[in-house]
Structure 1
């Protein structure tokens, strides 16, 4: 397990979240001169994107994030992104937030699987960062904030050895291994099977500096080649040294991490229905977490470092629906299996000493052998109240 995986996971999932929200907000845009009080306008969309990106790249939060550490649990990471999605005037109810997170995770999982070299995950991250900077190019202060994290990303990861990137890739795949959610855009492009598993290509150019698989060499202790044998590689690969093949490889990498929602296409998510997927999620929700107290302490500390803008009392939140109609959203919430529905840990993480002592007292009451008590949020109200307490 790599201790440097968390920043890449957070930034890439955050990039996918911004792609989806931007697409949905643009779909609901109404010209300002025709908009009513409860309608979305281009100004509202820009404000939402600016607020979320500002919160996402908060300096204190990112400093904690870049420290070597293990990945959060799926529940803890989901809580972080739920807060990010509600860092502005936008509201998502339970079904839409579930769908948003499903799309984020499956998109990045597919990108990780498609990377021919483990180090290409860094290029995917750069694509996401470039797109995020495009969202806030008209806001110099936020742009500089994001650009500084881009610089830190290059500084930390550009000189890592290939073995460390292999560990990062392995850690990401372990995190995603039980997620098999069908996404319509992947099903229509035939890159995902009906059981939610991805179809990986077994042809095309191999990465630059590598050889076509199919040959095993055995060496002596002093480095002399003693024996070699061949095996069928099951695909049709080409060497990057062949004419035009490196361009094909480079073109594939340049597309990973880019916005697949830039062209308007309906995107639906469906549970795979496989017993393994359902069982794994049920096991995750039911099994006690021996590190529950430590995870909550870490998450509370990170949340305490975020500076989230308050929503004034006279300003009501705008609701965004990731489904085509309200009826579809309500139906999805009803049909989604309970063991696959995410719930949120409600933490009051304020900066004052009295609240910190109260948080420590509450966390001390959790028994490590018992599951952490969770309660669902109603349209993000609890999380918004929690963020208000951070100032």
Structure 2
């Protein structure tokens, strides 16, 4: 009798242990529908898959066999560049709340909605990549996601109309935001709450894109801005509130209807941004080239960045040199001079409190001086006559 009792207790303990533990630390792939059904039959106790989950295969039409999974420690891949799925929806994933390595939805030509992801609250340190899903019109199902640590790619979704579904997204870290080859995308509706983006902002080859006004809340940035080959885009009002000095490079070209590039962020970048390329060409009248935009910027003015108290800059009236006072700044600091195209023409390393930079070798024109050291930097425009 005791033996039977011990056996029963052991069985219950084993079941309880399994119900509290994860499975597949090395990850798992599903290439056929029967494999998903097999998982439900044999691993119904598993609510946490520790590794990556890869779902691909032309005969996969339902994810119902994964309905018990609540979290994935690695990445979730649905589809891939070489094998598509027959999925029309992601129903079956409603129990999923966490995916630690991010989500990739790639090459699912019949996928019409992703509402099955509606309970996912976090992508951990991972990315969101939505690519080559030709039937997908909306992103409804991502409303609980507020931050994405690994960047966002939305590319090659030929039926996508806007970004509804990402309405609570406020922060994109690392890698930035890529929006390319979405032929029917009309605007960025749904991204009104995006406040911060670190990395590249790339918007290209979206043939129906008229405006990016939904990005006006974006006021913290760090990276390059790359806007190209958008046949219907008319203005850049949506990026006006990005700090111009936070833009590491600027490329705006081949947007034939783009007539308004002279928004505050672009003008500030052209006036005070240093390092990186400033490329503006082949756009509509008013934004046809770099010099046209610089001229337009004169009508709105620019916001000159203030100098940290530790630095002061004194220009010589004869334009032969610039004196830099570093106060009690004891650490070494660098001084770089850039032309307005973003090309560095002088570089110096200093450690003394008072230093002089000769400008005698520079051609006449407007230049930017950037001083950086000990976590602080200063930018100052000067004219070489």
Q: TM-score, normalised by structure 1?
A: 0.20
Question: Counting helix residues as a fraction of each chain, which structure ranks higher?
Answer: 1
Question: Counting strand residues as a fraction of each chain, which structure ranks higher?
Answer: 2
Q: TM-score, normalised by structure 2?
A: 0.21
Specify the structure having the higher radius of gyration (Cα).
Answer: 2
Higher relative contact order (CA 8 A, sep 6+): 1
